[in-house]
Amino acid sequence: MSQGLQGGSIQMLSGKTVAVAGGTGNVGTFVVRALLERGANVAVPSRTEEKLHGFRAHLASQIGEDDLGRLHTFVGDVADEVGAEHLLGQITNDVGAPDAVVATLGRLVPAQSLLDARANDLQQVLQSYLIAHFVVARTFLPGLKARGGAYVFVNGPLAFDPWKGSGADLVSISTAGQHMLFRALAQELEESDVRVVELVSHAFIRDRQTQPSSAIPGEAVGAFAAYLVSQAAGGTHGKSIRLRSMEQLEEVGLELGIA
């Protein structure tokens, strides 16, 4: 038995198409599962078929066949401008124009000292976080602006406070820029019908498993992301939400259960 999070309407996303950039990653896996459990058709791109195969096998051990049947996977690089446009076309043709997007992207390049790090190290981290988020946003947001919908940036607490001794200061630099990207886009789109929200996850997840020291379970992050793309989250445009306690889920009608 595994922990799951259920709200008042488990099928609140029935018939909706949600694209998850970074869906095969540690946080993304929990997001995709929560979306599928709530009735959404979920599109997940990845650079390799091998990674998508392993991802599907992992989800098959977590959810039922009906939910898994609404998972649609695509091979391609969503962080590349040409690749992202091609993926958007594939998703639209095969699943439907996205009603929402969740972007949870980035790869750690450790650096115990910034003074010892190379410019190339920073460039790699900027590419996998800030640039990747920029590419996904500029690819998917125009359609959402025209149709209405929701766009969720997933970020982490390193964007606001560096952790001494963590070796993740390059990530702090890049995700701080990612936070400003969110704010700038939210400001630009404040008169449109699309909601742009930032979800700052305080969950500690490794190898798709919530770690013992985590403030909240990964299921909480997935459930809250699913809530944010639903119509129940109206009025959240421009908000940066730091998710670090279960009480925050209770406040929006989500409760911990057994799935």
The CATH number covering residue 216 comes to: 3.40.50.720
pLDDT at residue 256, rounded to an integer: 59
Confidence (pTM): 0.94
Percent of the chain scored above 70 by pLDDT?
94
Residue 10's pLDDT is what? 59
Mean pLDDT value across residues 202-226: 93
Q: Is the pLDDT of residue 86 over 90?
A: yes
Structurally, the chain folds into a number of domains equal to: 1
pLDDT of amino acid 7: 46
Q: What is the mean pLDDT of residues 24-47?
A: 97
Residue 32's identity, in one-letter code, is V
Q: Token pair for residue 25? A: 């990653």
7 vs 97, residue with greater confidence: 97
Which of the four pLDDT bands, split at 50, 70 and 90, describes residue 257? low
Q: Tell me, what's the pLDDT at 255?
A: 76
Q: Which residue range is the domain that position 194 belongs to?
A: 3-258
12 pLDDT band, cuts 50/70/90, is confident
pLDDT, mean of residues 33-44: 98
Residue 2 has pLDDT above 50, yes or no: no
Cα dist. 206→73, 187, 209 in Å? 22, 33, 5
Determine what percent of the chain is predicted with pLDDT higher than 90. Answer: 89
pLDDT interval class at 207 (50, 70, 90): confident
